[in-house]
Amino acid sequence: MAYKAVTIKAGKGGFGGPLTLVPTATRNKVVSITGGGIHPVAAKIAEMTGCEAVDGFSTGVPDNEIMVAIVDCGGTARCGVYPKKRIFTVNVLPVGQTGPLAKFITEDIYVSAVNESCISYAEEVAVEEAPSGGEMKSVTIKAGKGGFGGPLTLVPTATRNKVVSITGGGIHPVAAKIAEMTGCEAVDGFSTGVPDNEIMVAIVDCGGTARCGVYPKKRIFTVNVLPVGQTGPLAKFITPDIYVSAVDESCISYADASAAPAPKPSAGTPTNPATAPKTKAQAKEEIAKMNEGKEKNLATRIGIAIGGIVNKFYAAGRETIDITVKTILPFMAFVSMILGIISASGAGDVIANTISPIASTLPGMVAVSFICAIPFISPVLGPGAVIAQVVGTLLGVQIGMGNIPPQYALPALFAIDAQVGCDFIPVGMSLGEAEPETIELGVPAILYSRLITGPVAVVIAYFFSIGLYS
């Protein structure tokens, strides 16, 4: 029986991953450091991979033989001990980056809240040869000035050979440069759907919304042309090993020879019987013997249950603080800065004389909505919702100063937001696992529908605001 690779995803409320475990002739031990024998998660991994499950409390295993360590750590140093050694770590409790070794707990080496349902066989992990049609080359992409993440080394294969540009306005120059240097195909993600398993790298221009994290969440290399780091609702998936930002054409270079995939072992390579993979029956039998007489008593079970409840509340509090600090407070600071600039520069008077006549009439609002919803403009206005934030702040100031009647606040909201989400349409459909044909037809359909729904929303909002402020 050959070794098999498995993929482990985070469970409900978990952090990190997914991890792909690939056993080798030397790294073939699944070490359970949970107390009470071999944990069911460790047993499941050993059974599916053909590796040996070891009780870490009774048997010592050298670090260079450990494929993965299974722990039940509630947030102490044990969570980070194995990640610090760059050993894959699976925590059965919902614990994230915490404890004295928190900086070593990263999504590429650690996953938590794992149960048996989170484990599945991995797709083919062997590196494929480049297609015979032409030679493909690897490239390295570094972060630009003020950027985050990387460097990333992109190695094209026979299946993963698409550079998908999801930036609006056709193929971005960065995507074109990567395609040219690697020999891959550049694809406009707004007009053509591409299956996830064919995407080598996704190029985005996201200012900090969900789009930054959608492809990193799928473990697809992501290049952001804007200087954006770990932010947005999917910030925890944005890690330096899968994401790089502030990238321009000067950040791309050919990778050295060391980045090329290692050659496959020849079919005639002898196998050491001592390290040969076990069958499922053998793995189950060994684990059953090791667990004999090690059933958890009532006190242990109660302690584990209480620990799990406490950790859930602790994780919820930590995530709330994290979102507040990384997302809400920066937005408040941005709005305050805009208001300060308007007040100090005297731009408010200019805006009052130019915008107010348009924003204080229904036809003016409908015209603004129509312009924002034009299909070739809306994807460009969407990234980061920056345009809507700035214009919304300007209109809010004018309403507060009395230059625009307050009853136009609600229609104005819909007028300046007709383009919202247009930059996210192909990404959202991909996230929903839509077929490539559905994406190709769905993107233009939604973009053109905004030309109708945008102005209609303004009119509806206008009538609903009648008498609202009287």
465's CB contacts (< 8 A; 6+ apart) are: 407, 408, 409, 410, 411
The whole-angstrom separation of Cα 402 and Cα 396 is 10
The whole-angstrom separation of Cα 191 and Cα 338 is 35
Catalytic residue among 79, 206, 212, 422: 206
The whole-angstrom separation of Cα 288 and Cα 129 is 42
Indicate the helix (H) or strand (E) that contains 186. Answer: strand 185-188
Catalytic-residue membership of 51: no
The whole-angstrom separation of Cα 38 and Cα 45 is 11
Question: In a 10 Å sphere around its CB, with 0-12 CB exposed, 13-18 middle and 19+ buried, how is residue 467 labelled?
Answer: exposed
AA letter at 295: E
Measure the CA angle with vertex 311, ends 306 and 317; round to 5°: 135
32 phi, psi to nearest 5 deg: -100, 115
59 phi, psi to nearest 5 deg: -135, 130
Tokens at 449, concatenated: 């529908």
Question: In a 10 Å sphere around its CB, with 0-12 CB exposed, 13-18 middle and 19+ buried, how is residue 284 labelled?
Answer: middle
Do the Cβ atoms of 118 and 11 come closer than 8 Å?
A: yes
Active site residues: 206
